[in-house]
Amino acid sequence: MAAAAFAQVPASVAEADATAPGKDPAYAALTTAFEALRSRDFDRAVADLRIAAKLSPRRTDIRKNLAYTLLKTGDTDAAREEFGVAVQLNPADLHVALEYAFLCYEAREDAPAKKAEARRIFARVRDTTSDPTLRATATQAFRNVDEPLGTGIARWQQALATSTPNFSAHYELAQLAEQRDELALAATNYRAAYALLPERKSVLLELARAEKARGNSEGMVAALLAATRGGEPRAAELARERMPDRYPFVYEFRQALQLDPSNSVLRRELAFLLLTMSESGQVPREQAQAEFREVVAGAPADYLAAAQLGMLYLADKREDLAMPILKEVLTKADPATANRVRLALKMPLVLEDRSKVEAPLDPRILGERSYNSGFLKDALRYFNKAHEANPVDSQVLLNLGWTNNMLHQDAEAVRWFNRARQSADPAIAAEAMKAWKNLRPGTQLVRTTVWMYPVFSSRWNDLFGYGQVKSEFRLGNLPLKPYISARLVGDVRRTSSGPVRQALSESAVIFGVGVMTRPYRGAMAWFETGTAVNYLNGGRWRDTRGGVSWSRNRGASLGATEDGFFLENTADSVFVSRFRNNVISYSQNKVGYRTTLARIPTQIFWSASLTFDAKRQYWANFAEIGPGFRLHPPGLPPSVTLTVSAVRGVHTLNDGNPRRPNFYDFRAGVWYAFTK
């Protein structure tokens, strides 16, 4: 029955340093966040930590706790962003800088730029830290990143020097050069790659990124402007988001055309801009005329530009040049453009023949137009048609994901994002991966939590083992969650020594089904029933248990960045049918100080606990006090903690107690938990 002293194991959570409620605007949000962390409700913890970060935006500890919690949810992209903010707030925190660097190196979106940032951080930590462990880690990481980049750059340069230039060689060389911060080399090869394959507008986005990194703002705008006009709709949309919040200047159009001379859409817009400016005398009209000539020469089917060029010739009284162009427009252009020419020539207008049924537009284009106009249901219908026509179009898969997300059909959105993240296009795959990770936790039907706690007790000279695997099932927004569970309760010795031998644990695996409430202000209730199987002799018995629990934590946790005091309080009341339908209650409290010893985060505490039951059994009625410490062993996952304590205890009831009422006990246990 000594196992009763260890039956309720407090969870290990990361808490930020909190000041008094009246002084800290983030106090309330942090309190609820810590409650959610203790109950493993990571989604709610993330939401509360985001609120706390907004209320106290300069606190790096909140950003770090938010980042680590996001890592537990699997959202590495959002975690990387929060670590990045923490690095900006406190550049001297080199531990956080390394966390951020490793996540940057693993990033898929804007991978070359992120890998370059990781390389720079590794170099900075290597060159500035006085910690030999950090220096060794950063040095090795820098070497692992830099040496393959140097080798790859040399290999592709050799390939380009000895063979016919091709898109892949220039593009791969540009990517490697950007990762190594050789930005001039990267920009040169992005330009060369795009010149060989101008259909790949996404290369212009990467060129813009490299130009921005090397401080060439004009080169960046030129690349973005070229990407916004014509070509891939998605590249154009991303480029528009990154453009300056103003209309481009004429010289920026010209620089963009130097990059993309065959971009007739871009050149036509420049021509009309120059035409407008010529009307107010800002530029000669010949400049607009020259650009329209270039458009018509490069795109003979652009009858709108041809009509404008013809009318410019006509205004200059050059009928010999104007009339051949205008006659071709009258013959081949759409009715609206042809009627504009008839109006200029003072010819009778022709009614449009609407009896002819135009060929249907591409459903993907119709879907994009509907989405951009806010007609989401129409967009969904068109995108579904586009998917039926081309099931491997990853852009359509991504569009279906976003459209379903906007319609609050997240389960469908997750399905489409999951397919789109397998795209061969790295940009589409990265965007879909980020969206999939953000939406997936809220749509998971099942979430599994595993915890284990082996602990040695000198009083019983025994090693006890406790653990549980629990899978929870989401039922929409209902306040109750059903679950299935397998618990382990056991020990090595099995019985105590002395004249009266006692079983020290149940030595069983307990299988059960149950239901639990969602945590509220640190409190929750649960109930389960099932079957216990003794793993020693195969015996079975019905097991029913349930209860309520409450917990609260304040101050500097083990994962905090700054030293400080902390306070932990937990209270539980549990019904267990195995113990003659008994109800056992616990109160466990710790007060102490968090510090760093030999670069290991450590909590030194004084504990006090009280245990009592309804049936007044001596083994379930005792009080304990004593010192202890808790630390996170270096090199192990963040949720692993080692707790060592020494307590002096006294049984508060002694009827039937074969031993002395007072006792000493030395305990050492390891806690580990994770959620899938």
Domain chopping of the chain, boundaries: 2-9+446-675, 263-351, 363-441
Which pLDDT belongs to residue 352? 58
- Contacts for 235-243: CB closer than 8 Å, 24+ residues apart: 235/201, 235/202, 235/204, 235/205, 236/201, 238/205, 238/427, 239/201, 239/204, 239/205, 239/208, 242/205, 242/208
CA atoms in the 13 A half-sphere facing the CB of 9: 25
pLDDT of residue 14: 41
Question: From its phi and psi, is residue 118 left (phi > 0), alpha (psi between -120 and 50) or beta?
Answer: alpha
Q: b/e per residue, 448-473, with b = 16+ CB within 10 A?
A: ebebbbbbbbebbebebbbbbebbbe
For residue 370, pLDDT over 80 is answered with no
Banded pLDDT at 23 (limits 50, 70, 90): low
What average pLDDT does the segment 545-574 reach? 89
Q: What is the pLDDT of residue 22?
A: 53
Place of tokens 């290597």: 126
pTM value is 0.49
pLDDT at 351: 64
Confidence band, pLDDT 50/70/90 cuts, at residue 568: very high
User: What is the predicted pLDDT for the residue at 497?
Assistant: 52
Most confident of 287-296, 498-507, 542-551: 542-551
Q: Residue 2 above 70 pLDDT?
A: no
HEC-encoded secondary structure of 131-145: CHHHHHHHHHHHHHH
Highest mean pLDDT among 2-11, 106-115, 251-260: 251-260
Give the model's pLDDT for residue 501: 52
Q: Minimal CA–CA distance to 252: which of 228, 284, 230?
A: 228
| pLDDT digits 0-9 by tens, 45-71 | 999 999 999 988 999 999 999 999 998
Identify the band that residue 8 occupies on the pLDDT scale cut at 50, 70 and 90: very low
Left if phi > 0, otherwise alpha if psi is -120 to 50, otherwise beta: which for 482? beta
What is the distance between the alpha carbons of residues 552 and 609, in angstroms, rounded to a whole number?
Answer: 15
pLDDT greater than 80 at residue 188: yes
Average pLDDT of span 485-514? 79
Among 296-300, 461-465, 508-512, the range scoring the smallest mean pLDDT is 296-300
Higher-confidence residue of 459 and 8: namely 459
Q: Is the pLDDT of residue 379 over 80?
A: yes
The string of pLDDT tens digits covering residues 605-644 is 999 999 999 999 998 999 999 999 999 888 888 789 999 9
Question: What three-state secondary structure class fits 41?
Answer: coil
Q: What is the pLDDT of residue 496?
A: 55
The pLDDT assigned to 372 comes to 76
Q: Which of 571, 509, 500, 582 shows the shortest CA–CA distance to 545?
A: 582
pLDDT for residue 129 is more than 50:
yes
Task: Kindly indicate the confidence band of residue 236, based on its pLDDT and cuts at 50, 70 and 90.
Answer: confident
The whole-angstrom separation of Cα 648 and Cα 338 is 99
pLDDT-derived band of residue 360, with 50, 70 and 90 as boundaries?
low
More confident residue, 40 or 12: 40
Helix (H) or strand (E) holding 176: helix 167-179
CA distance 111 to 434: 13
How much is the average pLDDT of 502-524? 87
Packing angle, helices 217-228 and 202-213, rounded to 10: 170
Q: What is the mean pLDDT of residues 271-293?
A: 87
Helix axes of 319-332 and 335-344: crossing angle, nearest 10 degrees: 150
> Percent of the chain at pLDDT above 90?
43
Residue 441: its pLDDT value, please? 62
Inform me whether the pLDDT recorded for 244 exceeds 60. yes
Compute the distance between CA of residue 6 and CA of residue 372 in angstroms, rounded to an integer: 59
Alpha carbon distance 177, 174 (integer Å): 5
Contact of 78 with 438, CB cutoff 8 Å: yes
Segment 326-334 mean pLDDT: 83
pLDDT at 503: 66
Q: Is the pLDDT of residue 78 over 50?
A: yes
Interatomic CA distance for residues 431 and 241, integer angstroms: 15
**Mean pLDDT lowest among 45-49, 69-73, 423-427, 559-563:** 559-563
The most confident of the ranges 365-369, 494-498, 645-649 is 645-649
pLDDT at 6: 34
Instruction: Give mean pLDDT, residues 534-539.
Output: 87
Continuous H helices in 17-110: 27-38, 42-55, 60-73, 76-89, 94-106
Residues 375-387 have a mean pLDDT of 86
Band of pLDDT at residue 310, cut at 50, 70 and 90? confident
Fold matches, 263-351 and 363-441: yes
Calculate Rg over the CA atoms of the chain.
35
Per CATH, the number for 2-9+446-675 is 2.40.128
Q: In 3D, which of 198, 196, 333, 190 has the Cα closest to residue 263?
A: 198
Q: Which CATH architecture has domain 263-351?
A: Alpha Horseshoe (1.25)
Compute the mean pLDDT over every residue in the chain, rounded to the nearest whole number: 86
Residue 9 has pLDDT above 60, yes or no: no
Q: Using CA atoms, how far apart are residues 347 and 344, in angstroms rounded to an integer?
A: 8
Cα 153 to Cα 119, 161, 162, 168: the distances in Å are: 16, 12, 14, 13
Bridge partners (DSSP) listed for residue 552: 569
Cα distances from 88 to residues 24, 62, 210, 384, 493, in angstroms, run 22, 14, 22, 44, 54
- Helices 111-128 and 167-179, axial angle in degrees (round to 10): 30
CATH superfamily of 363-441: Tetratricopeptide repeat domain (1.25.40.10)
C-alpha 376: how far from chain center: 26
Token output for 635: 């090199």
User: Cβ(46)–Cβ(82) under 8 Å?
Assistant: no
